[in-house]
Amino acid sequence: MAKGGFTFVEACRAFDCMSGVLADGVVTGSKINLGRVGALMPVRHSSRECHMSFKRVNGGKLEAVKRVYAVGPRLRYRFRVFETFLKSHQLDWFADH
């Protein structure tokens, strides 16, 4: 907090505001922009069946059983860094590519 120049109360307000923006984006399934850095992009996955060929029983042992589960539709978010940010900053983790 001291590094950012916020008091504790101001930091709590900023955190509540950012959490609210993220929650609204997740509820609506929309893109969430994070300033000039990048955006969280929603990727919708349709429902599908999952096949499992084992069951864990008491003692941590595996038992061969065929089971089918239905996994409903879901959203996964991917982070996309803006090109302008990439051009103006040197990213340590991006040097390998």
More confident residue, 96 or 18: 18
pLDDT at 95 over 80: no
- 19-32 pLDDT, tens digit per residue, is 999 999 999 999 99
Q: Could you read off the pLDDT of 30-75 as tens digits, one per residue?
A: 999 999 999 999 999 999 999 888 888 888 889 898 989 899 999 9
Q: What are phi and psi of 66, to 5 degrees?
A: -95, 125
Residue 53: its H or E element? strand 48-56
Is a pLDDT exceeding 80 seen at residue 13?
yes
* H or E stretch covering 27: helix 8-28
Count of CB atoms within 10 A of residue 57's CB?
10
pTM over 0.75: no
